[in-house]
Amino acid sequence: MAKEYLINNTTYTFSKEKFQDAVQDYIKQKRANGEKYVTSSLYFDMAEALNVSAETIRKWYGKGNTSPADIGLLHSIAQFLNIKDATSLLDLSKEEPKMEKEIEINPDRDVVKRVFQELIDFVDWMVNDISVTVKENGAKYIDEHRDVRFNKLLDIHTIVDKFALDIKPSTSKKLHNIILAYTENVTTPDVSSYWDRNTSEEYYGARWLLGMVTNNDVSKYNTGDSEAEEWENYINKIFPWEYEDDEDYYYIPFTYQFAYKREFANTLINIFRNEFPEYFAFDGEE
């Protein structure tokens, strides 16, 4: 069943035909400007602009019922294709909306989820982007590319600003504050007090481990090293039922990046559920 979007009390569905026509118009304009531009080029350019995969764009363009997940993505697609009104990519739904189902799009919730996903993607990039160079004297130089980190986080601020007219000012302010708090975490040695209120001791341990040993798995360290001991304690705490023999730790391919990404996600979930309980709190769960 095609995904429905409720906009101004009118129900729409994504039109692959209109999307395909818009894509071809965009490609023709590129070629008219002298560029050698093909459909596959658009897949990659649009994927980068929307922070999705090229395969996702390909599915929207091709056969099947795959369509953008929310109205926020539709607006981003329209902006990329230089289309003023995102509804020009949609068809009127043939069925009336069923009142018993909540199908109305909530722009605040969509933007909040988008920022959450962008921050998760940022951390995935960040921990894998850290480069280690061993100099001739054996010294290890770690380049964390902090200027690039800062610019990528600024891009997430921009996403919030683009939807500022569609969401409540309080939502916009909360999202900017969350991004700013994490910016302090990754561009300075400190952890902001805002972040500290929502995180756990495991996050600090994972943060320390990532800083101490970069791009190595624990199997390369001896039992007596403090990093390895911290790692054993961490794995034993989060997976206590998995390992009965200490030696097993040295055969697990988990990395310090894994620990940081996992604890960052847990902290971010706590923050978003605390700041936006109307969207993400679940009754009856511990």
Averaged pLDDT in 10-residue chunks for the chain of 286 residues: 76 88 91 88 89 88 83 88 89 63 70 93 82 62 72 92 92 92 76 75 72 48 54 65 51 66 87 87 51
What is the fold of 4-92? 434 Repressor (Amino-terminal Domain) (1.10.260)
Q: Is 9 left (phi over 0), alpha (psi -120 to 50) or beta?
A: left
Measuring CA to CA, which residue among 33, 12, 32 is closest to residue 78? Answer: 12
Q: What angle do CA 257, 258, 264 make, to 5 degrees?
A: 90
What pLDDT, on the 0 to 100 scale, is given for residue 176? 94
Please report, as a single letter, which amino acid is at residue 38. Answer: V
Q: Which two tokens stand for residue 144?
A: 């964390």
CB atoms within 10 A of CB 87: 19
What pLDDT, on the 0 to 100 scale, is given for residue 155? 93
* All CATH 1.10.260.40 domain ranges in the chain, comma separated: 4-92
What pLDDT, on the 0 to 100 scale, is given for residue 282? 57
d(CA 56, CA 69): 11
